[in-house]
Structure 1
Amino acid sequence: MANRRPKLRVQLLSAAFGLGSWIAMTGLWVELPVLVQRLPEGWALPSQLALYLQVANIGPIAYGFCHHWWPKYVTEEAANHLQLAIGALSTLLVIFMWTWTASGISFAFFLLSFGLSLVDCTSSVTFLPYMANFRACYLTPYLVGEGLSGLLPSLVAMAQGIEDPTCVNETRITFSAETGQNVTFFEMIPHVNEPRFSPEWFFGFLLALVIVSWLAFIALDKMPLCQAERVPSTEGNNSHDQAHELESLNELQKNDVSFKNGDVIIRNAPHSHLLYYYLLFLQGWASVATFGIFPALQSYSCLPYGDGPFHLTVTLCGVAYPAACLFAMFVEMRRVSWISWTSLAATLISLYALVTAVLSPHPPLHHTLTGAILIVVCWVTFMFTFSYIKTMVTILLEEFWGHRALFWCGAVTQAGAAAGALLMFLLVNVFNLFEDENMCLI
């Protein structure tokens, strides 16, 4: 079976299935430059949205609990159908309700984003393990599809366009307690310019992606062509069995992973268990950075340079993830030492983005073209690098530890994203460590 060539149609279906995996955290995110100008939360919207999205981690927790107690009924297949149905319904409703507010809070938008994020969070522990039921050659196309869930909305967002607000001089009248008279003064107010098409059309495109993902999953699960590409049951679904898991861990302790000419080779030695957890650590840190900490800071880091650089940064970061997955198909970095040094480099580059957010609304070079270019390059570089690291770690975990490792890879991804989002929500909205400003006054 290992020598058979992959089926193109199954590869395409795998990629299409991956389209529904990160619609909220990547697809929805690229619309933030438009939403920040229109929803009452303003610059704090990314940090608040990140937290609401991470609350959806109740999905994988509920799935894990129910699957443990009712494994016959709560299967990966059933969970995938349910979450894609919830995602489709939430995306449909957000088209009509995203502007609804209550007490100055975008309640409807946050609630429906939570529903859509259930797909993102739960997909990490159901989509990836489900793909482990197929031959390993279909995992990378699925990861490319995951990336496309950010790329395609990014391209639509770029077509949507956005311009800096027009500053309008408005007359204001206020009562002065000192003089007992009304005082007239002038204030520069930003006037929001409309994009080429409305957010409603953008959300409609996200709905189409969720539906395509759902149809692809149905095809993967039912078509005879796809069924023929599954691995034997002892390598797939039966790996849920606890006895098999214990046996796998025992084997894990007997093996070691070494390298020869850039390739990973399993050898007998006592260190592979440590390597397994180290790879999960790298996955967790990359997820903390890309899904937790920095998305919440994007408006503070980029908006002082203008709506143009902010919009370009958000959309190109959406492109960075699928580009990293595609790059991994042709250039595989299998040496753990290389992956470690690359992770360190991405971390150091990301510190510049952190500095600009801390110094906002007056970061370095914020009145210069050099500053705008530098902030865009910085964001895209470290987001691409972290995305590549996550892709390679996922491939290595699946290749050498199989189905159960993908489950924990997804769990670590979600835990890291949730921890980072909670931390940044507290720093931005509770401790007020980051400042925003009227764009006309910067």
Structure 2
Amino acid sequence: MAVLGGGLAGLSLAALLAEAGHSVTVYEAGEFGGKLSRLSVGGLAFGTGPSLFTFPGVCQRYLAALNEPDSLDLQPLEGGLGLHHTPFGAVALPVPPDHPLSGEWQRYLARVGPIQAEVETLLTLPPRLDEPAFLRASARVGRVLGGHLSAESWINAQHFSPLLAHALKTHALNAGLSPKDAPALYALLPALIAAEVSRPAGGMTRLLDELLRFCRERGVTLLDQTPVTLLDAARGILELGSRTARHELIVSALDPARRAELSGQLSKPQARTVSGLAIYAAFAEPVPLPATSIIAPSNFQTFRRAVQAQAMPPDTLALVHAEGRKLALLLTVPAAGQRLSLTQPWVRGQVERVERVLGVPNLLCKALEIRALDPVHYAALGTTGGAIYGAAYPAWRSGPFHPQPYRVSAKLWQVGTAVHPGGGIPAILGGALIVSKLIQQA
């Protein structure tokens, strides 16, 4: 079997297939890890890509499928989902018991919390209408979602205060979409994950190290710096520049548009999820900020219109992670494949906004070294315009109705967040479990 793409999705699936007794080769055009990689800044090691673990039960199911003990040593992240700054004030999620909005938060938890196990089931179980567990979980989640398709619609129907509503809507950006466009399930995420936000004791790159170890110990052939130049799925043939490889079955962990391009197919232009400008800074002294701060766009409708037009919004979502002398700042930008730098006026303005809101004026000026990854970098990883979650689909195409099939043809399958409902590490590991099960059952 061949797996195209050595990001987290490809490596996760390769280990599962090898555990089941298959001979597996992973082809990666660059370095293993995809968006998750190591970056040295000012002598400090940063992990790029996903910044936290949620739904730890999904990770436990993945490790159990490999008969592996839990070696990630997940540690709770101080402050949970962090302090959310909105036009209506700031609030931490989870909301502390002594906060005026604690009652609203508890009402939200009571509404959503009981479906925690069902959402975890849907993250790891193939979406089959003849599978009772899938049907039961879908029905329970559906009852909580009601008739709402978008995150914005569900939140508005709960009549929360403007502060809590704005903070909750911010998490729609986990889908790479505005609250009006993100599936309603994203409105439930803070209640489902706030109490169990964690990170490996050795940093996020520990996950990459472990996936590579799982693959090597199971005999997976790992070929980095080996770009596939043509995919002939019908014959099971890959062209690798000057040589050719033949496989009985191929799984693409690439963006579907990139996979289609390798197959010689034309992809129709599609709306895209957002991209980002990731800024990593090293300091001489510990950064005087909480572990996680989130600065929301002041107006989601204005933000939505700008991103859809591939224009820079007046202000944007900013995610800030501080750990000792390290600071990571992610600014959400349109996926237009544009080159961005800290010297550009829009970027300077957004950085100054973040510093002003957090009460740390001129913070980045004090950094020993700064490095940034822009949409050009993310586009080089294989998505159009650097879209972090690939193409954008209507909210009703979420869940089991997502348009990308797991099985494309007799010899070609797909895996990864582009074809799995959801995003982040739970979708990566859960999607690998789903595709592995489907391949074994085929």
TM-score, scaled relative to structure 1: 0.26
TM-score when scaled to structure 2?
0.26
> Which has a greater percent of strand?
2
Flag the structure with higher helix content: 1
